Chain A
Amino acid sequence: MLHRRSLLTTAAVGVATLAAPAILRAQTVKTLSFYYPIAVGGPIAAIIDGYCRAFAAESGITVIPVYAGNYVETATKAVTAIKAGAGLGGGGPHMAVLGSTEIHALHDMDILVAPEEIGLDAEGKTWLETFYPAFLANAREAGKIWSVPFQRSTAVDYYNKAQFAAAGLDPDHFPTTWDGLVNAATKLTNRNANATSRWGFKLASDVGNAQWTFGALAWQNDHRLMNEAGTEVYFNAPAAIQALEFWRSLAFDHKVTPQGITTWGTLPSDFLEGNTSIIQSTTGNLTNLRDKAGFAFGVGGLPGRDGVRTVVGGGNLYFFKNANDAERQASLKFARFLSTPERAADWCMRTGYIATRPDAWETPALAEYVAKFPAANVARSYLPQATGEISTFENQRVQATLTAEIQACLSGSKTAAQAMADAQTASDKILKGFRRG
């Protein structure tokens, strides 16, 4: 009896495997481990939990989100778990939302699997191409798209409209050029004999953020800091040096921003305090500021040398090799579930992150929301002017090097040219081994 049943089962499995391998095995997946770069608890975690529940109801697959902190910490956790073979299912996460810039570093570790390797039908291939090109800018490597845009943002400027009006500036028109920005920031800065009581403009230069800010500044000067393959950086190019000189001049010549390092974490409170008139932050801060600001504020695109230029930020969904075929299929299914136009629109309205595909903005819900709250639309309208973040092999190391040199320049101990030359030399050394392939 026992014997016969097991024989039967084997036969059934065998036949089924031959008949429809992928689909049947996908059905055997019960749970997926999903690392997510956000603090435990809090509103965003609740939204993700909700999506996971909806997915379970639809597919019978339970996605277990692990909220692991910020982007860098989550990448650390995911990679450490995969390398150590620990975690759920014996091998770390099956998928994770990680910084889009980690692509080269993750690919180099040979732990990723691309959607097209998992298997995409014609419809799936179209799906992968429907995202905004700016959000796929950091997703390509070796001719493939490796990740799916999800928690995406761009840098924007928030400005205090009351202070704009008081300084004789038009609160409905945010400057679009560097000259215009310096002019506005100069008028907004309040200085007396020995202290500045209000700063015109602040942008983050602390560890973890300086390289992002600088990527935007370089792009504003029509310069990209690295090649798409992530094997070369162009820090000592004249355009990059000029961009850093501009940043430095804001503090040392125009005196519209403080000398030394400005911290990302205190920018929102600087703004809410009225201590700073314009802050450069992420679209992801929109909801937070809207809830707390006791004054009218506007959202503007980042002014460039000649016009608005910005940089994207945020995380994409990656799939990991340590998952088996069925788990990979299921993960891909989850990714497609997350990026339907309706869900992308829902995500955008509830978090302030940008819906990652144009058709999401055409959904009635989001269209109505944008009509009511036009600030939500600002970042999207500048997406065509956005570039990818700096992203290379040994990404964290190159970013740390660049950040240290930027900080040396901003605190006055190196000239822009010297800092960029040193950053170039150090990064070349780090990237030396990746040039051959």
Chain B
Amino acid sequence: MKRQTFHAWLMIAPSLVLLVAFTHWPAIVTMIDSLYATPRGSRPPVFVGLENFQDIFADPVFIKALVNNAWYAGVTIPASIVIALLMALAVNTAIPGRALVRMAYFTPTMLPMIAVANIWLFFFTPDYGLFDQIAGIFGFGRHNWLGETATALPAMMIVAVWKEAGFFMIFYLAALQSMPPDLAEAGQLEGASRLLYFRKVTWPLLMPTTLFVGVNAVINAFRLVDHVVVMTRGGPNNATNLLLYHIYEVGFRYWDTSQAAALTMVLLAILGGFAALQFGILGRRTHYR
């Protein structure tokens, strides 16, 4: 058995080293940094305890980013999952032009967010942007989608859901297609019995997929800020500022590494909480083995 232990370690060592070096170690470094003041000039860093945390929680911009991110996650995660599921259910049946529709759903995955955000910028442009042109046909007035605090974040959510849903659809589609054929035939049922069938049979069977997709959705809700960089840079009045973008600003624009470290710790705590939730509660129910 000694030899097997040695072999096993040999096999996990490269991955282990890389993961620890670029995830666990920086996390620890970040934690230590968060307890020191940012060094200025050539002065050495000073230990300040939890002062950085007190500072960020007293900072309205951080609170706003936190609240924004909560809304952003709260809307985009369920919305992209539900739409992905609807898409998968749609293209799982024999509808005309199925391949084309499936392709359409999947296009956002292929287009880099950084580029496509510019296109969305045009869609949201007031007066002659696509949405205002369409609204104009129906007699509605202009709307400054990205320029009003009330609509800027919802606009960013739309972009995020658009980007994610098609990608998640693929996973649901694969799950639906691998269900036993007799179950699939039941998909032909109509009306209430079909809904009931979905709730009692299909949905539970999709639970592992939902978990998988959910993990990805959570990660992206806190990771994907490319469109913020291009479309609003956090404005107007921080209405679209999200945690990771704020970290980027504080760390690489204000060069306040300690505060950025404290912010990162908050983000890590949130992600850790989600991980515990998903693998603890959901994981047990879905028999993920």
Residue numbers of A with Cβ under 8 A of B are 72, 76, 79-80, 83, 108-110, 194-197, 199, 205-208, 258-263, 265-266, 269-270, 273, 275, 394, 396-397, 400, 403-405, 407-408, 410-411, 413
Please indicate the chain A residues that have their CB under 8 angstroms from the CB of B256 in the complex.
397
Q: Is the CB of A263 within 8 A of B255?
A: no
Interface of B is mostly: loop
User: 8 nearest interchain CB pairs?
Assistant: A260-B147, A261-B147, A207-B233, A110-B41, A207-B235, A260-B144, A407-B237, A407-B236
B286, chain A: closest CB distance, angstroms = 42
B133, chain A: closest CB distance, angstroms = 12
Q: Is the CB of A261 within 8 A of B127?
A: no
Q: Is the CB of B149 within 8 A of A110?
A: no
Sampled A-B contacts (24; CB under 8 Å): A76-B253, A80-B252, A110-B41, A195-B141, A196-B127, A205-B236, A206-B147, A207-B233, A207-B234, A258-B144, A260-B236, A266-B125, A275-B127, A275-B128, A396-B249, A396-B253, A405-B237, A407-B235, A408-B149, A408-B237, A410-B236, A411-B147, A411-B236, A413-B149
Q: Is the CB of A83 within 8 A of B255?
A: yes
Alpha-carbon distance A396/B249, docked complex (angstroms):
9
Q: Does B204 belong to the interface (CB within 8 Å)?
A: no
Q: Is the CB of A76 within 8 A of B236?
A: no
A206 and B127 contact, Cβ closer than 8 Å, known pairs A76-B252, A411-B147: no
B249, chain A: closest CB distance, angstroms = 7
Extra contacts, 11 of them, besides A109-B41, A196-B127, A262-B147 (Cβ < 8 A), are A194-B141, A195-B142, A207-B233, A260-B149, A261-B144, A263-B146, A263-B147, A269-B125, A394-B254, A396-B249, A411-B147
Residue numbers of B with Cβ under 8 A of A are 40-42, 61, 121, 125-128, 136, 139-142, 144, 146-149, 232-238, 249, 252-256
Please indicate the chain A residues that have their CB under 8 angstroms from the CB of B249 in the complex.
396, 400
Q: Is the CB of A206 within 8 A of B232?
A: yes
Alpha-carbon distance A76/B229, docked complex (angstroms):
14
Q: Is the CB of B232 within 8 A of A207?
A: yes
A109 and B255 contact, Cβ closer than 8 Å, known pairs A195-B142, A207-B234, A261-B236: yes
- The chain B residue with its CB closest to the CB of A83 is B255
A432, chain B: closest CB distance, angstroms = 12
- The chain B residue with its CB closest to the CB of A397 is B254
A138, chain B: closest CB distance, angstroms = 18
Q: Is the CB of B127 within 8 A of A403?
A: no
A146, chain B: closest CB distance, angstroms = 15
Please indicate the chain A residues that have their CB under 8 angstroms from the CB of B237 in the complex.
404-405, 407-408, 411, 413
Please indicate the chain B residues that have their CB under 8 angstroms from the CB of A259 in the complex.
144, 148
B251, chain A: closest CB distance, angstroms = 9
Please indicate the chain A residues that have their CB under 8 angstroms from the CB of B255 in the complex.
79, 83, 109
Alpha-carbon distance A411/B254, docked complex (angstroms):
26
A404 and B61 contact, Cβ closer than 8 Å, known pairs A79-B255, A263-B147, A266-B125: yes
Please indicate the chain A residues that have their CB under 8 angstroms from the CB of B142 in the complex.
195-196, 258
B168, chain A: closest CB distance, angstroms = 31
Please indicate the chain B residues that have their CB under 8 angstroms from the CB of A411 in the complex.
147-149, 236-237
Q: Is the CB of B144 within 8 A of A110?
A: no
Alpha-carbon distance A196/B144, docked complex (angstroms):
12
A111, chain B: closest CB distance, angstroms = 9
Alpha-carbon distance A83/B144, docked complex (angstroms):
40
Q: Which of B40, B235, B253 contacts A72 (CB 8 A)?
A: B253
Please indicate the chain B residues that have their CB under 8 angstroms from the CB of A205 in the complex.
236
Q: Is the CB of A396 within 8 A of B254?
A: yes
Most chain-B Cβ atoms within 10 A of its Cβ — which of A79, A195, A196, A270? Answer: A195
- The chain B residue with its CB closest to the CB of A399 is B253
B115, chain A: closest CB distance, angstroms = 14
Q: Is the CB of A265 within 8 A of B127?
A: no
Q: Is the CB of B146 within 8 A of A108?
A: no
Please indicate the chain A residues that have their CB under 8 angstroms from the CB of B61 in the complex.
400, 404
Alpha-carbon distance A80/B248, docked complex (angstroms):
12
Please indicate the chain A residues that have their CB under 8 angstroms from the CB of B127 in the complex.
196-197, 199, 270, 275
Q: Is the CB of A108 within 8 A of B41?
A: yes
Q: Is the CB of B254 within 8 A of A261?
A: no
Q: Is the CB of A273 within 8 A of B233?
A: no
Please indicate the chain A residues that have their CB under 8 angstroms from the CB of B233 in the complex.
206-208
Q: Which of A72, A206, A273, A396 contacts B128 (CB 8 A)?
A: A273
Alpha-carbon distance A83/B254, docked complex (angstroms):
13
Q: Is the CB of A206 within 8 A of B254?
A: no
Please indicate the chain B residues that have their CB under 8 angstroms from the CB of A260 in the complex.
144, 147-149, 236
Alpha-carbon distance A105/B83, docked complex (angstroms):
47
B110, chain A: closest CB distance, angstroms = 24
B92, chain A: closest CB distance, angstroms = 41
Alpha-carbon distance A402/B237, docked complex (angstroms):
10
Q: Is the CB of B238 within 8 A of A404?
A: yes
B18, chain A: closest CB distance, angstroms = 21
Alpha-carbon distance A197/B61, docked complex (angstroms):
36
- The chain A residue with its CB closest to the CB of B43 is A110
Alpha-carbon distance A199/B249, docked complex (angstroms):
33
Please indicate the chain A residues that have their CB under 8 angstroms from the CB of B234 in the complex.
207
Q: Is the CB of A195 within 8 A of B136?
A: yes
Q: Is the CB of B40 within 8 A of A261?
A: no
Alpha-carbon distance A76/B148, docked complex (angstroms):
29
Alpha-carbon distance A388/B125, docked complex (angstroms):
31
Alpha-carbon distance A424/B18, docked complex (angstroms):
47
Alpha-carbon distance A425/B238, docked complex (angstroms):
17
Most chain-B Cβ atoms within 10 A of its Cβ — which of A205, A394, A400, A407? Answer: A400
B214, chain A: closest CB distance, angstroms = 32
Please indicate the chain B residues that have their CB under 8 angstroms from the CB of A265 in the complex.
121
A267, chain B: closest CB distance, angstroms = 11
- The chain B residue with its CB closest to the CB of A80 is B252
Please indicate the chain A residues that have their CB under 8 angstroms from the CB of B254 in the complex.
394, 396-397
Please indicate the chain B residues that have their CB under 8 angstroms from the CB of A275 in the complex.
127-128
Most chain-A Cβ atoms within 10 A of its Cβ — which of B141, B144, B147, B252? Answer: B147
